[in-house]
Amino acid sequence: MNSAFATPTASLDDPFYYLTNFRFVLAWVGERHADLLSADEREFLNQFDNLPRASQALLVRMVMRKGELFRLGKLSYTEVGDSGDAMAPLMTLGWVDNAPALSIDELFNQLRLAELRQILAEEIRAAGLSVSSSKTVLYATLVSRLTQAAPLQTWWPEAPDRVVRLTVMNICDRLRLMFFGNLRQDWAEFVLTELGLQRFEVVPFTPQSRAFQTRQEVDTYLALHHLRQRLDEGESPVDLHREVPPPSDNRWLATRRARLLLQLGREAERSGDSALALTLYGDAGSSEARIRQLRLLERLGEHQTAYELATQALDSSPTETEHQALTRILPRLRRRLKLPAVASDPEPDHVRWDLTLPGPQSVERAVVAALSEPQAPVCYVENSLITGLFGLLCWPAIFAPLPGAFFHPFHNGPADLYRDDFVARRRDAFDGCLARLEDGSYRGVIRAAWREKQGLASPFVHWPIVDEPLVELALECIPAEHLRACFERLLGDLKANRAGLPDLIQLLPDAPAGTPRYRMIEVKGPGDRLQDNQRRWLAFFHCHEMPVAVCYVRWQPEEAK
């Protein structure tokens, strides 16, 4: 039976609004992910339900804050009341450790400088430091001397406060992951929605709609996440590589695994471990990893191996991005191997404008001021107008309630947006939307979508730029066949092709019959060059005879101003 996502009914006027939101997540996960929960996690849900409200609230306050260590004196909330009383049931359950061992790092994070000077006075004197030394100097000097972790009461027997450790953060993070399908989103999503700062499309769903289908998938996600954290903290890619989970049948997790292997490979390459980097790039198997592998092989002089791999990649229907890189690499390799040159398609020339303008200032703003006319306005639209019109026309296809696409109330877009089968799964729906461009009804559809969906989160519609007057003028001036060509190119590679579009568009509603009623303008300031994704769009526009120019700006010399 289908139902619709509905956000919890908490109000920010309710001092326990955050507790309402937390309970909503627990109920959601308990209902839809019960088969993925361990006995400890199910027990957590049951025990949380039986806690006094003040204890529930204090726990959630800690969960929503950063880290796992807290000074009890700083856990002061009017609606909770006495924090010590509220904490007692949490300590009884073992969810809070009342006397956690603190390392020197944790001690420095929890205490103020004056407190550190007091409790470490003897160590400071023994190290020959001044009593007025900064916290940074104290830490740098004492970190190698104070290597034993101990409770605050041991460090500071007369401490007027306690430091406690939340021991169930890993369970709360796992529940949050099962709800959101990622660890990027947190409890702030609820608050932003309640404030009206974020609004989301309401998408029908079935009880089976969820991010993970097995507990192993959750475990794999967490393992990949923690490995990335450890890489960011400076651990060696050699050590981390040994712990990378095996390949998964879940394509989404396979993509995350490939991304981690790419990141490990880049770090290995930077550290000079070329052999490991090549292994990691090869294991990643993504197009970006293949290109990095080829470039590294080039630098190592492994030209024959690189040539064979590049030729295989070129023959395997690469993406536009990978194809562009391969067509640059292969001629170099052929020269190195003394192979006959192969003619390549020349990059099409683009219309070039050279402007000398007063500056320095924002080059886009300067060009808008120089070229805009009352009946031919120039608008700043970088990556927003074409994608916005696409998002409005194809809204029903993008927000189609397919399995694995939507599974909580806070989706900016479908979870599978950048997976290889995103378009294929919705091909009929996209074809139906694009057919509106053939029968002329697309203008009405886009206008209606703008009015009905205005302000809702979308991966393609940037509302501050795509306002109603711009939409109206664009629909008047850009031919349907040009829109269709652009939309089909977007669908060819949504992640890569949504970027690289020209900065500006000039709309010419009064242009003479038979002449273009718009032109797109890419702007380049002094010393700026076209990026690869911009070159691909320019080549596309040239191929489809769509009006575009590249405007190169120079600033007027001081004496000419």
Residues in Cβ contact with 191 at an 8 Å cutoff, skipping those fewer than 6 apart: 12, 17, 18, 21
Q: Does the residue 552 lie in any domain?
A: yes
Q: Does the residue 199 lie in any domain?
A: no
Sorting pLDDT into bands at 50, 70 and 90, what band is 11?
low
**Is pLDDT at 189 greater than 90 in this prediction?**
no
pLDDT confidence of residue 389 = 98
Residues in Cβ contact with 504 at an 8 Å cutoff, skipping those fewer than 6 apart: 364, 367, 368, 378, 379, 380, 381, 382, 520, 521, 522, 523
- Percent of the chain having pLDDT more than 90? 83
- Percent of the chain having pLDDT more than 70? 97
**Is pLDDT at 539 greater than 50 in this prediction?**
yes
Are 79 and 125 found together in one domain? Answer: yes
pLDDT confidence of residue 317 = 86
Residue 411 tokens, joined: 């989706």
Q: Does the residue 7 lie in any domain?
A: yes
Are 413 and 525 found together in one domain? Answer: yes
Residue 376: φ, ψ to 5°? -145, 70
CA distances 505 to 117, 477, 519, 554, Å, are: 62, 11, 6, 20
Q: Does the residue 422 lie in any domain?
A: yes
Closest by CA position to 174, among listed 288, 289, 41: 41
Residue that wins the pLDDT comparison between 250 and 305 = 305
Q: Does the residue 462 lie in any domain?
A: yes
Bridge partners, 507 (sequence order): 518
Residues in Cβ contact with 548 at an 8 Å cutoff, skipping those fewer than 6 apart: 350, 351, 502, 519, 520, 521, 522, 538, 541, 542
Residue where a domain stops, chosen among 276, 303, 336:
336
pLDDT tens digit string along 93-118?
A: 999 999 999 999 999 999 999 999 99
d(CA 423, CA 404): 14
Are 447 and 317 found together in one domain? Answer: no
Closest by CA position to 365, among listed 378, 374, 355, 352: 378
**Cβ(8)–Cβ(21) below 8 Å:** yes
pLDDT confidence of residue 327 = 92
pLDDT tens digit string along 37-75?
A: 999 999 999 999 999 999 999 999 999 999 999 999 999
**Cβ(333)–Cβ(307) below 8 Å:** yes
Residue where a domain stops, chosen among 302, 336, 370:
336
**Is pLDDT at 183 greater than 90 in this prediction?**
yes
Are 366 and 481 found together in one domain? Answer: yes
pLDDT confidence of residue 241 = 97
The mean pLDDT of 303-325, rounded to a whole number, is 94
pLDDT confidence of residue 342 = 81
Are 374 and 440 found together in one domain? Answer: yes
**Cβ(504)–Cβ(523) below 8 Å:** yes
DSSP 380: E
Q: Which residue has the tokens 């099962």?
A: 178
Residue that wins the pLDDT comparison between 559 and 457 = 457
In one-letter notation, the amino acid at residue 61 is R
Q: Does the residue 357 lie in any domain?
A: yes
Are 381 and 491 found together in one domain? Answer: yes
pLDDT confidence of residue 2 = 42
**Is pLDDT at 14 greater than 90 in this prediction?**
no
The mean pLDDT of 176-187, rounded to a whole number, is 92
Closest by CA position to 531, among listed 505, 550, 557: 550
| CB-CB neighbours of 112 under 10 Å | 10
Domain at 290, CATH number = 1.25.40.10
For the chain, the helix, strand and coil percentages under 3-state DSSP, each to the nearest 5:
55, 10, 40
Sorting pLDDT into bands at 50, 70 and 90, what band is 557?
confident
Residue where a domain stops, chosen among 166, 193, 220:
193
State the number of CA atoms in the 13 A half-sphere of 289 facing the CB.
22
Angle between the N-to-C axes of helices 442-453 and 468-477, in degrees from 0 to 180, rounded to the nearest 10: 170
| CB-CB neighbours of 131 under 10 Å | 8
Residue 169 tokens, joined: 């953060």
3-state secondary structure of 133: coil
d(CA 25, CA 408): 10
The mean pLDDT of 294-313, rounded to a whole number, is 96
**Is pLDDT at 517 greater than 50 in this prediction?**
yes
Q: Which residue has the tokens 């937390």?
A: 22
Are 186 and 247 found together in one domain? Answer: no
Residue that wins the pLDDT comparison between 350 and 377 = 377
**Is pLDDT at 5 greater than 60 in this prediction?**
no
Q: Which residue has the tokens 């009006």?
A: 547
Are 477 and 416 found together in one domain? Answer: yes
In one-letter notation, the amino acid at residue 154 is T
Query: What is the count of structural domains for the chain?
Result: 3
d(CA 270, CA 267): 5
pLDDT confidence of residue 10 = 59
Sorting pLDDT into bands at 50, 70 and 90, what band is 9?
low
Query: Residue 270 is part of which domain span?
Result: 204-336
d(CA 398, CA 389): 13
The mean pLDDT of 133-153, rounded to a whole number, is 94
Sorting pLDDT into bands at 50, 70 and 90, what band is 292?
very high
pLDDT tens digit string along 221-239?
A: 999 999 999 999 999 999 9
Are 249 and 294 found together in one domain? Answer: yes
Q: Does the residue 346 lie in any domain?
A: no
Q: Does the residue 342 lie in any domain?
A: no
Residue that wins the pLDDT comparison between 469 and 187 = 469
Are 285 and 398 found together in one domain? Answer: no
DSSP string covering 71-132: EGGG---TTT--HHHHHHHHHHHTSEESS--B-HHHHHHHS-HHHHHHHTHHHHHHTT--TT
Are 541 and 480 found together in one domain? Answer: yes
The mean pLDDT of 158-170, rounded to a whole number, is 95
**Is pLDDT at 6 greater than 70 in this prediction?**
no
Residues in Cβ contact with 137 at an 8 Å cutoff, skipping those fewer than 6 apart: 129
pLDDT confidence of residue 193 = 78
pLDDT confidence of residue 560 = 57
pLDDT tens digit string along 253-275?
A: 999 999 999 999 999 999 999 99
Are 234 and 304 found together in one domain? Answer: yes
Residue 440: φ, ψ to 5°? 85, 0
pLDDT tens digit string along 447-500?
A: 999 999 999 999 999 999 999 999 999 999 999 999 999 999 999 999 999 999
> What is the average pLDDT value for the chain, to the nearest integer?
92
